[in-house]
Structure 1
Amino acid sequence: MFLAKCVLFLLLQILSCRGEFFSSTSGLEKLFQTEVVLLAELQNYVNEINQHAEALQSEIDAIRVEHLNAAEGIDEYLNNPVNAFRLIKRLHSDWETFEGSVSSDSSRSNYLEAMAGHKENLSYPSQDDFVGSAIALTRLQQTYQLDVAELASGILNGVKYGTAMSWQDCFVLGQHLYALRDYNHTVPWLQQSMQLLGEQSYGTESASLDFMEAVVDYHREMGAHESALSLVNHVLSIEPDQRSHLLESRRRLEELITDGDKNGLLHVTARRPGDYHESREFRMYEQVCRGELGPLPSKQRQLRCRLRKSRFGYAPFKLEELHLDPPVVQLHQVVSSKDSEYLQRTARPRIKRSTVYSLSGNGASTAAAFRTSQGASFNYSRNAVAKLLGQHVGDLSGLEMEYSEDLQVANYGIGGHYEPHWDSFPENHIYQEGDDAGNRIATGIYYLSDVEAGGGTAFPFLPLLVTPERGSLLFWYNLHPSGDQDYRTKHAACPVLQGSKWIANVWVRERHQDQVRPCDLQRNQEISLPYRDFD
């Protein structure tokens, strides 16, 4: 009864939850709850099977005991009229009863019916979720230069976080990367899959070797000749006589390697020179995320920490200068744990896939692969905590907050990231009807959670990496005092390697800011122009 109540409670919690899951850890919690329900259902099925099996086993044991006794003197046993009757009776009616018991067993149908109902009501990941999670793993692997074997073992940057992947997990991941034509990442995952399969106790069985032989074709198609040859040699070392047909494959592969052959999907689909992910800017971004690129020591020595008085009677801000030109500051211990948790809790039922403004400049917004998170918006006038966060930004900057966009609370899921971008709108941006607030003059990012690994805010042109610190506020100006874009403020959300990243964005518009931050008489954007079309 208790189990049934738990299942019913979880069902009621999950019934209305559908959508995208890989881009938010909040979504993943719904999937975890789905698996709790399915596990309970499967356990019910196993319990019913066990009860039925125990009843049948009891009958089997009784008959077997009788047979063992009869074996000591089969003639004597059969000459006993009671034994004869029991034998005839069992074969005439008991075994028919056993067959009927098996055929009428409702365990299987009950389980399948229950599962069919759950599929209508519970949250299940879509193909997009599966593909998104696969891409996220490879994004983490590439951004943080993770070793595939360690990643498959649940080790992230030298720290053991979770359960190791099975050879099947690695193979399915490699198979889907192959379908996505990401052959550079396909090869190491297939290699890891075959390595793990070879380590299993059944790794030397013919069925396993058949599977390895099939994977050879994957490598050969991609032009990964060394990987194909290694697998062929492994199979031949175990069954040299039964797999003699592979000798010709080995000879051919050795010949291709010696000739330096570059045929195969790996070479045909090489990224084009114009691919942003192969650009110097993107490499700088990844270096900043890894902590390999940062401000020069001479510039760091000019930075200072100080207490900044509040205009509204709040405790003084603990302000840390992170960069001087353009100014980037971080205020520590601004948001309480209680308020951070409240925003997360309130946002969870409302979050949906985060969007970006269309690159076409038509004012529309859409979901994009370069930004994977989920978010929800809060009006400052209707939410006391959101209003408080808006006041803090206004207090720090002196800016008028009347035309600020709604507070946006966002959560990043598996490998959640946002590639380098500007918050300010380009000159050709078309503002939507009724939007006369102007460009985004400044940005504030509240960190509502700590992140165990990754998830930092990277400024590739400064270069600067800001580590999420729960309760802190990161602030900078997107525009020069002239109103022109400051292209140096291009920034990104590094992929979350471990943990859940919650933030709240404040975007302040430029309308009515002329008294607070008056425009310079001279345009001064020249200093940032080299970063507008940075290679």
Structure 2
Amino acid sequence: MKMLATLAVLVAVLHCVTAEFYSSTSGLSQLLRTEVVLLAELQNYVNEISQHAEALQSEIDAIKVEHLSAADSIEGYLNNPVNAFRLIKRLHSDWQTFSDSVEREASRTNYLEAMAKHQQNLSFPTHEDFVGSALALTRLQQTYQLDVAELASGILNGIKHGTGMSWQDCFVLGQHLYTMRDYNNTVPWLKQSMQLLATQSYGTESGSLDFMESVAEYHQTLGDYENALDLVNYVLYLVPEERPHLYEKRELLEELIRDGVRHGLLHETVRSPTDYHISQEFRLYEQVCRGELKPSARSQRPLRCRYQSNKVPFRLLQPYKLEELHLDPLIVQAHEVVSARDIRILKRLAGPHIQRSTVYSLEGSEATAAPYRTSQGASFDYTKHRAMWRLSRNVGDLSGLDMRYAEMLQIANYGIGGHFEPHWDSFPEHHTYLENDHDGNRIATGIYYLSDVQEGGGTAFPFLPLLVTPQRGSLLFWYNLHRSGDQDYRTKHAACPVLLGNKWIANVWIRERRQDHVRPCDIYRDNEISLPYRDFN
């Protein structure tokens, strides 16, 4: 019980600085390999000792169950956000707990020396990985309105996927949300933690009841008096004579609930009215991601699927399979554009180079990492490989645009809850271009889907409203600018969080220089229709 309690509160970071893992499923396989090595070291140590062997062996067995589950399909295992969070959590805190336990043993020297070497040579998650994975789980829970109890059980949209979370997992997640002042999400995870603890065989032991008392204090500090009272009543039900001080606590909580006065962090920490995450636009985005909003057919002719060659000789024999998704603005999806072989090549070439994705700052053109975009990517010249050149050729053949004025190809991989909140690909009017950038704004965007996604991960257009489901090998295309060259504010879009799966895409952005032969300007400006969406609340 002491070891389990220690696991619940320990959040120390192993002192090995590595690349970021949580923002890309590509990097998570390194962590699984790290844990395989650590598991072997711990097993060797346990075989040499007798003290604490039973407790350590139970922890080993639990992790082995995870690895047996992962052996059937490592990619499938890591695509599950609960599995990914628990893997990061174990490597972030649990393994340090094992080392602390071993440190008290006389025969610890060999194990600790081996662990010290592994920490220098193997991949370990950073504190940022742990926090990022925790935020990703809460993002998924909020965006897709998932029940916390089901999510903790490994159930995603009604389907069981692998092992559920332990009470320690839920508590550590809730504790970190508390330290990050995300109090609304703290409450359900602390509640779930205590519900799971109560079902354990040691849930009625003195140490467990002490821990429940401390979590009751969390709830009271938050101003969540109902859950605090439930825990106090549970402890008093089990040991009514041993903890007389709790009767006074119960009376206080009952009085606070009866009076209806709300104090505490939940009620005193109010989001700013300017917080984007409580705006109408953000609510639209989440509704589109959940499939609750769809485009209106009132102002559109029926959407069509057709073959299109665009007068390209090669495409006369092999035209594109084009599906209209929206007419104004025009958004189309070409199917079966990228072969399975090219997809394998693109992933293999990109894998060693991907790093945390960045965004342009509003003040200028400097690119930085941002919490509203969690993925990893890498940029390539189209001449690096014919598979990349074919991506450029397809966009050019389909649109007629001059691909000499396209930006470098960007290949990206989304990790646990990976997302990109609503944004425009085109640059704002006040954007500061680099000194040698004379190619103008981004006239069009092409997104190649290099993988299917089991759940979530769609491309959402909140203002249309339209949700595009990733289909492996397809190309999504639209124009970011009106014919006048003004921004089309209706094309604001987002990458919905990946709920289950592994999302790979390739982005193609084409600049407006010398594209007037394809999209000549009309006599009058045509941007009025999108202006209401420029400052949409």
Under TM normalisation by the shorter chain, which class is it? 0.7 to 0.9
The 1:30/1:526 distance shift into structure 2, 3 A limit, reads same
- The whole-number CA distance in structure 2 between the counterparts of 1:416 and 1:389 is 24
* Structure-2 residue corresponding to 1:294: 294
CA apart distance, 1:514: 1.3
- 2:489 is aligned, of 457, 468, 487, to 487
* Structure-1 residue corresponding to 2:347: 344
Paired residue type of 2:348: R
- The whole-number CA distance in structure 2 between the counterparts of 1:318 and 1:249 is 68
In angstroms, what is the RMSD of aligned CA positions? 1.6
Q: What are the superposed Cα offsets for residues 11-56 of structure 1, whole Å, 9 maximum, x if unpaired? A: xxxxx99310110001111111111111122223234448xx9xxx
CA apart distance, 1:298: 4.5
Query: Is residue 276 of structure 2 the alignment partner of residue 273 of structure 1?
Result: no
Does structure 2 conserve the Cα–Cα contact (< 8 Å) formed by 1:370 and 1:419? yes
* Structure-2 residue corresponding to 1:461: 463
Q: Identify the range of structure 1 (380-389 vs 20-29) with the bigger mean alpha-carbon deviation.
A: 380-389
* Structure-2 residue corresponding to 1:68: none
Query: Is residue 345 of structure 2 the alignment partner of residue 324 of structure 1?
Result: no
- The whole-number CA distance in structure 1 between the counterparts of 2:191 and 2:466 is 36
Following superposition of structure 1 onto structure 2, how do residues 395-434 of structure 1 map, counting pairs within 5 Å?
395-434=397-436
Q: What are the superposed Cα offsets for residues 90-110 of structure 1, whole Å, 9 maximum, x if unpaired? A: xxxxxxxxxxxxxxx995311
Paired residue type of 2:411: V
Paired residue type of 2:342: D
Following superposition of structure 1 onto structure 2, how do residues 152-231 of structure 1 map, counting pairs within 5 Å?
152-231=152-231
- The whole-number CA distance in structure 2 between the counterparts of 1:527 and 1:165 is 49
CA apart distance, 1:299: 5.9
Does structure 2 conserve the Cα–Cα contact (< 8 Å) formed by 1:17 and 1:30? no
For residue 352 of structure 2, give the secondary structure of its aligned residue in structure 1. coil
* Structure-2 residue corresponding to 1:313: 314
* Structure-1 residue corresponding to 2:359: 356
- The whole-number CA distance in structure 1 between the counterparts of 2:478 and 2:264 is 48
Paired residue type of 1:131: V
Percent of matched pairs sharing the same residue? 70
Query: Is residue 532 of structure 2 the alignment partner of residue 533 of structure 1?
Result: no
CA apart distance, 1:301: 6.3
CA apart distance, 1:223: 0.3
* Structure-2 residue corresponding to 1:384: 386
- The whole-number CA distance in structure 2 between the counterparts of 1:322 and 1:376 is 28
* Structure-2 residue corresponding to 1:21: 21
CA apart distance, 1:512: 1.0
Q: What are the superposed Cα offsets for residues 421-477 of structure 1, whole Å, 9 maximum, x if unpaired? A: 000000010111211111000000000000010000000000000000000000000
- The whole-number CA distance in structure 2 between the counterparts of 1:106 and 1:184 is 45
Does structure 1 conserve the Cα–Cα contact (< 8 Å) formed by 2:18 and 2:126? no
- The whole-number CA distance in structure 2 between the counterparts of 1:108 and 1:43 is 13
- The whole-number CA distance in structure 1 between the counterparts of 2:47 and 2:298 is 69
CA apart distance, 1:212: 0.2
Paired residue type of 1:322: L
The 1:448/1:526 distance shift into structure 2, 3 A limit, reads same
Paired residue type of 1:317: Y
Q: What are the superposed Cα offsets for residues 259-306 of structure 1, whole Å, 9 maximum, x if unpaired? A: 111110001112121110000000000000000011125467610101
Paired residue type of 1:400: D
CA apart distance, 1:258: 1.1
CA apart distance, 1:162: 2.0
Q: What are the superposed Cα offsets for residues 339-364 of structure 1, whole Å, 9 maximum, x if unpaired? A: 1111111111100000000022x111
Query: Is residue 438 of structure 2 the alignment partner of residue 436 of structure 1?
Result: yes
CA apart distance, 1:176: 0.3
- The whole-number CA distance in structure 2 between the counterparts of 1:27 and 1:312 is 42
- The whole-number CA distance in structure 1 between the counterparts of 2:409 and 2:320 is 21
Paired residue type of 2:471: E
Q: What are the superposed Cα offsets for residues 357-393 of structure 1, whole Å, 9 maximum, x if unpaired? A: 0022x11110000000000111012221111001000
Paired residue type of 1:481: R
- The whole-number CA distance in structure 2 between the counterparts of 1:17 and 1:346 is 25
Does structure 2 conserve the Cα–Cα contact (< 8 Å) formed by 1:312 and 1:395? no
Query: Is residue 477 of structure 2 the alignment partner of residue 475 of structure 1?
Result: yes
For residue 313 of structure 1, give the secondary structure of its aligned residue in structure 2. helix
Rg larger for: 1
Q: Identify the range of structure 1 (239-248 vs 489-498) with the bigger mean alpha-carbon deviation.
A: 239-248
Does structure 2 conserve the Cα–Cα contact (< 8 Å) formed by 1:481 and 1:519? yes
Does structure 2 conserve the Cα–Cα contact (< 8 Å) formed by 1:439 and 1:509? yes
Does structure 1 conserve the Cα–Cα contact (< 8 Å) formed by 2:300 and 2:327? no
Q: Provide the aligned length of Structure 1 versus Structure 2.
A: 466
For residue 348 of structure 1, give the secondary structure of its aligned residue in structure 2. helix
Query: Is residue 486 of structure 2 the alignment partner of residue 498 of structure 1?
Result: no
Paired residue type of 1:336: S
Paired residue type of 2:457: G
Q: What are the superposed Cα offsets for residues 473-497 of structure 1, whole Å, 9 maximum, x if unpaired? A: 0000000000000000000000000
- The whole-number CA distance in structure 2 between the counterparts of 1:199 and 1:160 is 20
- The whole-number CA distance in structure 2 between the counterparts of 1:193 and 1:346 is 42
Query: Is residue 145 of structure 2 the alignment partner of residue 142 of structure 1?
Result: no
For residue 285 of structure 1, give the secondary structure of its aligned residue in structure 2. helix
- The whole-number CA distance in structure 2 between the counterparts of 1:430 and 1:383 is 32
Paired residue type of 1:318: K
For residue 318 of structure 1, give the secondary structure of its aligned residue in structure 2. strand
CA apart distance, 1:518: 1.1
Does structure 2 conserve the Cα–Cα contact (< 8 Å) formed by 1:17 and 1:122? no
* Structure-2 residue corresponding to 1:451: 453
- The whole-number CA distance in structure 1 between the counterparts of 2:29 and 2:513 is 41
Q: Identify the range of structure 1 (296-305 vs 19-28) with the bigger mean alpha-carbon deviation.
A: 296-305
For residue 112 of structure 1, give the secondary structure of its aligned residue in structure 2. helix
- The whole-number CA distance in structure 2 between the counterparts of 1:106 and 1:237 is 42
For residue 349 of structure 1, give the secondary structure of its aligned residue in structure 2. helix
Paired residue type of 2:359: V
The 1:336/1:189 distance shift into structure 2, 3 A limit, reads same
Runs of 5+ in structure 1 lacking a partner? 1-15, 54-104
The 1:507/1:300 distance shift into structure 2, 3 A limit, reads same
CA apart distance, 1:230: 0.8
Does structure 1 conserve the Cα–Cα contact (< 8 Å) formed by 2:144 and 2:286? yes
- The whole-number CA distance in structure 2 between the counterparts of 1:212 and 1:300 is 58
- The whole-number CA distance in structure 1 between the counterparts of 2:376 and 2:409 is 14
